[in-house]
Amino acid sequence: MAEKFLSLEQVSVQMGGRWLLDNLDLTINRGEQWAITGPSGSGKTVLAQTLSGRYHHTGRIGYYFGAGSGKPAIEIGPEGGAKAGHSHRIVLVDQQHRFKNRPGTTDLYYQQRFNASDADQTITVEQELREYTVMEGPAAEEWLDNLHIRPLLSRPLIQLSNGENKRVQLAIALLEEPELLILDNPFLGLDTAGRRLLHQIINGLAAKGIQVLLLMTGMQELPEAITHVARLENGRWGFRGKKEDFHPEKDAGKVVRLDAGVLAEIRGLPGKIAGKTKNDAADDFAMAIKMVNVTVQYGEKTLLKAINWEVKRGERWNVSGPNGAGKSTLLSLITADNPQAYANEIWLFDRRRGSGETIWEIKQRIGFVSPELHLYFDYSANCFEVIASGLFDTIGLFRPLTGEQEACVSLWMKLLSLTELRRKRLAELSTGQQRMVLLARALIKNPPMLILDEPCQGLDDEQTAYFREFINLLCEAFGTTLIYVSHYPQEIPDCVNLYLKLDNGEVVK
């Protein structure tokens, strides 16, 4: 007879008058490894956080942990938390990890990771690991080696790439030696080698008898160890059963075409954006980016070495490379977030950096989104405010809008199917919905250059397909210069036809 490990009985979660989880029943037996899938906003992250005791809920959650008596060893009550202390036996690795400053310092800000004088205001990887875990012993040695953490130990957390940060999160979780490891979209931000390594780790954990629960937007990265799949749809189960019996939707990965109404709206954009026309003088340039022997160093570490790169107006580039290759540093030189731009020969929009331009003049001509930028938004702001902040290139909205600007925000919300979320706080949305809001913020000015760093992280398949087609059309209609970063070739828009690959801070031919 199968030994019960985890049970959910009529578990529901309500927020803002809406049921995020609706009467979920599920039994997971010991030795079963489950993946929970579903579209963006279906309730996967809410379920993960409820299972770890972070959400108030109705119903009953029981962990058995080999109790033998038929009664749960740990029960998560409606108020959240465990009725029997669970110590570190249930560990959740979130999609995003927020850094902490050293005690007594100010709040973190996005550009801090690129300022050598301020980056040391955050603790290092080693200090973070020691705060949460015991770093001695064979188990610690194994995970530090397997996750390639040792080269990162002296680095400030804020300077880690998205993928490097994910490895640190995993190390913290595994050093806790959990009986249940809950991973919320763990493959996001990892390069090909990182994803392959995570597959090996998950399969190895299952072989050791550790229960793993994956929350995944898509099924492309399903590890071999997964035995069962459940699909959430609007907070309810759509499927529960063995992996071999699960057949994803027939239209998964379908080609998405924008309808005629959306096409007409996009083509009419320039006249609807305050103070901007298609022939605006700000768009009159021949060379968007020119770098001559650009080198960036922090102490003894060289992040970029002798980079020579030219991007002409209207070109569409993919920038690729493994985690930690220097991609974020390269982009920060373009977006005016890195002061080392002044120590190098860099030209933006036909003008040499340091020749009297302001950072706001540069930012006004660039639409930008990245996983790191995502972390620094005020999650109490509503979607309308977040998107509107893109008109002023600020992280937050600090001034009133004109009627024309309000209409512009409403138009972009309509184009990206965000109208219903207008007054929702960012904290109330799924990660995928948050990312769509930030994409709207990047696009709202219809700028001459877009820099999109892993823009589809957290989006489901349909959202990704729609966004790719949207970017193709935007670049075609307006001759937009595009810099696109992604670890997944299938996410790159068809309009991209030029490629720059970085490895260890150097251009790879």
Residue-wise pLDDT tens digits, 253-264: 455 566 767 767
214, two tokens: 């994956």
Task: State how beta strands 498-503 and 316-320 pair.
Answer: parallel
Q: Worst-scoring range by mean pLDDT, 43-57, 97-111, 318-332? A: 97-111
| Separation between Cα atoms, residue 407 and residue 268, nearest integer Å | 13
Q: Where are the domains of the chain?
A: 4-89+178-245, 98-163, 260-283+316-325+356-507
* For residues 477-492, average pLDDT: 92
- Rounded CA separation 337/121 (Å): 18
What is the percent of the chain where pLDDT is above 90? 41
Share of the chain above pLDDT 70, in %: 84
Complete DSSP assignment for 214-282: EEESSSTT--TT--EEEEEETTEEEEEEEGGG----TTTTPPP---HHHHHHHHT-GGGSTT--TT-GG
Q: 177-181, 222-226, 433-437 — which one is most confidently predicted on average?
A: 222-226
Confidence of residue 399 (pLDDT cuts 50, 70, 90): confident
Highest mean pLDDT (candidates 70-74, 202-206, 315-319)? 315-319
Residues 449 and 367 sit within 8 Å (Cβ to Cβ)? yes
Structure tokens at 465: 């397909």
Residue whose tokens read 């590890």: 223
CA distance 461 to 256: 10
Determine the pLDDT at residue 41: 86
Tell me the fold of 260-283+316-325+356-507: Rossmann fold (3.40.50)
* Confidence band for 416, pLDDT divided at 50, 70 and 90: confident
How is domain 4-89+178-245 classified at the CATH fold level? Answer: Rossmann fold (3.40.50)
In the chain, the N- to C-terminal Cα span, in Å, equals: 58
pLDDT for 145 equals 86
Q: Which of 79-88, 265-274, 281-290, 351-360 has the lowest mean pLDDT?
A: 79-88
Segments in 109-159 forming alpha helices (H):
116-119, 125-132, 138-146
pLDDT the model gives residue 219 = 75
pLDDT in tens, 15-44: 877 899 999 999 999 999 999 999 888 999
Task: Provide the whole-model pTM.
Answer: 0.84
Instruction: Compute the residue count for the chain.
Output: 509
- Which residue in the block uniquely carries the two structure tokens 């696109």? 484
* Host H or E run for residue 507: strand 506-507
Return the axis-axis angle of helices 461-478 and 260-267, rounded to nearest 10°: 40
Residue keyed to tokens 């640190």: 168
pLDDT per residue as tens digits for the range 77-124:
666 555 544 455 889 998 766 555 555 444 544 444 555 445 556 788
